[in-house]
Structure 1
Amino acid sequence: MTSELKVEEIQPALTESKTSLFRERMKQFWESFSKNKAAVLGGAIVLIYILVAFFAPLLASYDPYEIDLTNKLQPPSMEHWMGTDDKGRDILARILYGSRLSMGVGFAAVTFGAFFGIIMGLVAGYYGGWLDTIISRILDVMLAFPGILLALAIISALGPSLINVMIAVGVFSIPLFARVVRGSMLETKKLEYIDAIRSLGANDATIIFKHILPNILSPIIIQGTLRLATAILSAAGLSFLGLGAQPPSPEWGTMLSNGRDFLFSAPYMAIFPGLAISILVLGFNLFGDGLRDALDPRLKS
């Protein structure tokens, strides 16, 4: 009863303090982030791509799947701004719709990897002992394989498809998130306020998810943003090899693979999907670097 009364008495003060601290941190974050012109540019690129993916049906003037052999391999023109492919399909429309697939795969893969990686990192870092040893050895085994090689092995076992690409890219993202979370947990759980919360009778789940996890979100967000660029690039690479999205899907990696057969006769078939991938990856990298510098000044180069 005494512990419950103490918690009730200090809860309003704690809530007000947390709200004020959150506002102050957000203000500091925005001031730091807005000064980084490269990060702002990266954020603008990412935002534009998200809007394009969301409004693709309104922006596209043609059906990305409609075959028109009478207009195949048309160079860029006022009618078809990026030309047409070997099936007569409008390349711009396919790139617009392909943004949904490429970004969807990236976000799904990173979410998959982050979920399992965060859980493993929290458990290993908080409890330590034999649990930490087992989880760390599993992570070491996963990190022993190059990411793309591990993804190839998974897809070879599951079969080529866009869903399996998400799983494969997500699996080799798990150890990266787990390592980041474990290290942050080992540092945070030793702080005095955690001992104070434990002395008030809070259980492990409350301490981990309510008091520790919110305070180690910064490195997780940074890792997730930077990982999105790698995930999108890896997914496009797997699709380029024929292991991801299958034709006639307008996924950028698949379009790039199809365009390599026409590099001399119709180079725009490969140039525009390649540019779409490159600019998006650049945007996420710039944005992630800016977030890293703004959220954790200790990591500034």
Structure 2
Amino acid sequence: MNVEYAQPKQAVTEKAQARPGKWKVFYNKLKKNKLAMAGGYVIIFYILVALLAPLLAPHDPYQIDLPNKLKMPSAEHWMGTDDKGRDVLSRVIFGTRLSLSVGFVAVFIGAFFGVILGLLSGYYGKWVDTIIMRIVDVLLAFPGILLALAIVSALGPSLINVMIAVGVFSIPMFARIVRGSTLAVKKLEYIDAIRSLGASDMRIIFVHIFPNILSPIIVQASLRLATAILSAAGLSFLGLGAQPPLPEWGAMLSNGRDFLFTAPYLAMFPGIAISSLVLGFNVFGDGLRDALDPRMKQ
């Protein structure tokens, strides 16, 4: 008897051990998307550049050297110098810190408030849902960049205010997505079972519903990072974001537009940095969406 039951039990154990974990399955699906992996490598590259900026920058990005202004790219200055003699490569490297900081902070603001509003709206419904969604509809009625312009104009031009403005116009997107996911999850049987056991609403929302709707939040955050970085660069280009002498990519583009014919590299290199980072987040976000979607069987 013992021998007869030992073999099936051992077979089941070996099968369970051979079954890959959720994270491994997710990574294997993501790895098959070559474009998404390339986007991930671009993101990792820029994050490393931001972390190692003091070690990678060959010159002080704030050091003015007027005798060497508007020098073409050379062995000493790989990306040339600007109209004040500052090394463009060093400013692009340090600008990576600012652009990533703006993107992550703005998306965190939008996700934090958007997730809370979406959870409350989807779970409670009725008048709570009506009030929250009407506020969200008002925010969605304004194009994102125009809403950000209005907020920055009211608060004043600064990098911090840009983070707040971009974060505010990101709230409706997260709120809509989280509300829809919450409406679907709260109808499941296990939620009714937990409620019947006496669990509080806050416990049900944040312990049992929220972990099960993380996938669309992560995907939206990765895609929203690209929009946040691009929007922040646009506001800085208009003079409403980073103020001189901060080496922010949008501000560098704004400064370089006055020298498009005499020193085109001043606008070209920050533009390449913005385009490549935004493209990296976009393609990586698309890959995350496909890898986290259970309907996408590969």
Please give the alpha-carbon distance, in whole angstroms, between the structure 1 residues aligned to 2:126 and 2:80.
61
Partner amino acid, structure 2, of 1:200: L
- RMSD of aligned Cα (Å): 1.3
Residue 157 (structure 1) aligns with: 154
Partner-residue secondary structure (3-state), 2:21 = helix
How many angstroms apart in 2 are the aligned matches of 1:190 and 1:164?
40
* Residue in structure 2 matching 1:137, options 134, 138, 154: 134
Task: Tell me the number of residue pairs that the alignment of Structure 1 and Structure 2 aligns.
Answer: 280
Which residue of the partner structure matches residue 15 of structure 1?
A: none
31, 53, 67: which one aligns with 1:34:
31
Q: For residues 237-290 of structure 1, what are the alpha-carbon distances to aligned partners after superposition, in whole Å with 9 as ceiling and x for unaligned?
A: 000000000011100000000000000000000000000000000000011000
Q: Hey, which bits of structure 1, 4+ residues long, moved more than 6 A? A: none
* Unmatched runs of 5 consecutive residues or more in structure 2: 1-16
Distance 2:175 2:118 in 1: 4
Answer with 1 or 2: which has the greater Rg. Answer: 2
Query: 1:74 aligns to what SS in structure 2?
Result: coil
User: Aligned partner of 1:276: which letter?
Assistant: A
Q: Distance in 2 between matches of 1:75 and 1:59?
A: 20
1:298 shift after superposition: 3.5
Distance verdict in 2 for CA 1:47–1:250, change over 3 Å = same
CA gap 1:205/1:243 in 2 versus in 1, 3 angstroms: same
Aligned-partner residue type, residue 187 of structure 2 = K
Change (3 A) 1:153 1:299: farther
Q: Distance in 2 between matches of 1:256 and 1:133?
A: 43
Runs of 5+ consecutive residues of structure 1 not aligned to the other structure: 1-19
Please name the residue that 1:8 is paired with: none
The answer to whether the Cα contact below 8 Å between 1:165 and 1:238 also exists between their aligned partners in 2 is yes
Aligned-pair identity in percent equals: 74
Q: With structure 2 as the length reference, what TM-score do the two structures score?
A: 0.92
Q: Distance in 1 between matches of 2:287 and 2:198?
A: 39
SS in 1 for 2:77: coil
Q: 1:69-91: per-residue Cα shift (whole Å, max 9, x none)? A: 01100111111000000000000
1:50 aligns with 2:61: no
Alignment partner, residue 275 of structure 1: 272
Q: Match of 1:173?
A: 170
- Who is 2:74 aligned against? 77
SS state of the match for residue 272, structure 1? helix
